Amino acid sequence: MTRPPIDTTHDPARTSWVESANGHRDFPVQNLPYGVFAPPDGTARPGVAIGDAILDLRAAAAAGLLPERAASACNGDALNALMALTPEHRRALRNRLSVLLSDAAYEAALTPMLYAAADSVMQLPTRIGDYTDFYVGIHHASNVGRQFRPDNPLLPNYKYVPIGYHGRASSVRPAGEPVVRPYGQRKPPESAAPIFEPTQRLDYELELGVWIGEGNALGAPIPIGDAARHIVGLSLFNDWSARDFQAWEYQPLGPFLAKNFHSTIAPWVITAEALSPFRIAQPTRPDGDPPPLPYLWDADDQALGAFDVTLEVFLSTAAMRAKGIDAFRLSRGPATNMYWTIAQIVTHHASNGCNLNPGDLLGTGTISAPDREGFGSLLELTAGGTEPLLLPGGERRAFLADGDEIVMRAVAKADGFVPIGFGECRAVILPARCPA
């Protein structure tokens, strides 16, 4: 079961009595993403986005409006319990929410449980136990590899192993929380020894976050045919990177302080159920590439394991915002530029018996298109900083400056269905703080 069933919750004719939902760029009634929000003068609680509003799931559960099993998972201040539900219970909750928010008979009962998203503070969706970052964007891997190894951009393992590393969960923060420019070691090419100072090559990485649902016991791998059961949904994810620190520190054990100072996750979890109509075939591998090893091969996953999602990244500088200049679009491209499917990275992660837990986060790795218009990092867009971008208003950027704000957006589209969006993944850069 790669694709959850397409059902009445996806019906393009279904509308909501929450009027802002109808025609909403991100959150029509066909989407129903989960997040954790704090309403004005209230504590953090699970909610579902509907248009410009958020429905308080804790209140709906307390009022007896949700299926029993799901209701008990909506009591806390994180989505871990909800993510631990079986796909069948998750579907029951989605079906119920779709009815509650489309049938005007429930308007009077639910209106007191609705909050304006603009007045609410979004939190991390889960208590993230573990975070792992992959490297499935083959054009990103090639572009970056080419900067270091012009003749041999991809290492020989790339087409066999979904490459990844264990990231740092504690510094994954919700969108909206500013990013403090990190200090660290870098070694200028002309000097013999490294220096310790704020990064001069601060970059973003356009990624999708993959949320783990049902976990697996230590020692019990997840077969590729079961991987979809363990994936709750996707969110936009910005894996901030200090390229100068990365270049100096990454050998021989891989990414460390260049990556773990901050990562920004978008607040809304777009569920696997909501994304069902937007699944498409995983692109065929180029001639001459090896087929995936059998434990990573599943015909259904190849047929429906990718998503018709368009990703965009915008930059606005402090000066642009002061002058009222719109954010500048840095890139736009499809999410299909992933060499491995999300099912394959989940199966690979657990293939040695490593246990994944509900609410764990996987990053796909930077998703870049083959063409410049769809490059997912400044490292690629500015050719390693050698070709700075000219921004509206006249400023130039090779890497990010203090006050710069990065906003990521995504939308899923398919003929015959209402498009659904991912909300925004937004954060601004603050000046470095001297470690004294």
Separation between Cα atoms, residue 345 and residue 234, nearest integer Å: 14
Least Å distance, CB 407 to Mn ion, is 18
Listed ranges 28-36, 201-209, 244-252, 369-377: which one lies at the site for Mn ion (CB under 5 A): 201-209
| 8 Å CB contact between 232 and 360 | no
What residue is closest to Mn ion based on CB? 239
Least Å distance, CB 218 to Mn ion, is 26
Q: For Mn ion, which is the closer residue by CB, 36 or 362? A: 362
**Positions 230 through 249 that interact with Mn ion (CB under 5 A):** 239
Q: Which candidate, 69, 173, 54, 157, places its Cα nearest to that of 115?
A: 54
Separation between Cα atoms, residue 208 and residue 154, nearest integer Å: 22
Least Å distance, CB 207 to Mn ion, is 6
Q: For Mn ion, which is the closer residue by CB, 205 or 405? A: 205
Q: For Mn ion, which is the closer residue by CB, 239 or 273? A: 239
Least Å distance, CB 163 to Mn ion, is 11
Separation between Cα atoms, residue 145 and residue 403, nearest integer Å: 30
Separation between Cα atoms, residue 251 and residue 235, nearest integer Å: 30
What are the DSSP calls for 21-41, one per residue? GTT-SS--TTT--EEEEE-TT
At residue 156, φ and ψ (nearest 5 deg) are: -65, -20
Listed ranges 88-96, 129-137, 280-288, 316-324: which one lies at the site for Mn ion (CB under 5 A): 129-137
Residue 101 in tokens: 């928010």
What separation in angstroms does the CA of 427 have from each of 240, 244, 262, 352, 400?
A: 10, 21, 11, 36, 12
Q: Which of 24, 140, 230, 349 is catalytic?
A: 140
Residue 40 in tokens: 């004005």
Least Å distance, CB 140 to Mn ion, is 9
Least Å distance, CB 366 to Mn ion, is 6
Q: For Mn ion, which is the closer residue by CB, 18 or 208? A: 208
Listed ranges 56-64, 131-139, 145-153, 369-377: which one lies at the site for Mn ion (CB under 5 A): 131-139
Q: How many residues bind Mn ion (CB under 5 A)?
A: 3
Locate all alpha helices (DSSP H) within 251-366, ordered by sequence: 299-304, 318-322, 342-350
**Positions 335 through 374 that interact with Mn ion (CB under 5 A):** none
Q: What number of other Cβ atoms are within 10 A of residue 213's Cβ?
A: 25
Side chain identity at 435, as an amino acid letter?
P
Q: Is 405 in the site for Mn ion (CB under 5 A)?
A: no
Q: For Mn ion, which is the closer residue by CB, 134 or 307? A: 134
Q: Is 205 in the site for Mn ion (CB under 5 A)?
A: yes
Listed ranges 105-113, 126-134, 243-251, 402-410: which one lies at the site for Mn ion (CB under 5 A): 126-134
- Of the residues 130, 133, 308, 405, which one makes contact with Mn ion according to CB under 5 A: 133
Q: For Mn ion, which is the closer residue by CB, 36 or 136? A: 136
166 belongs to the catalytic site: no
| 8 Å CB contact between 124 and 169 | no
Side chain identity at 317, as an amino acid letter?
T
Point out which residues bind Mn ion (CB under 5 A).
133, 205, 239
Point out the residues that are catalytic: 140
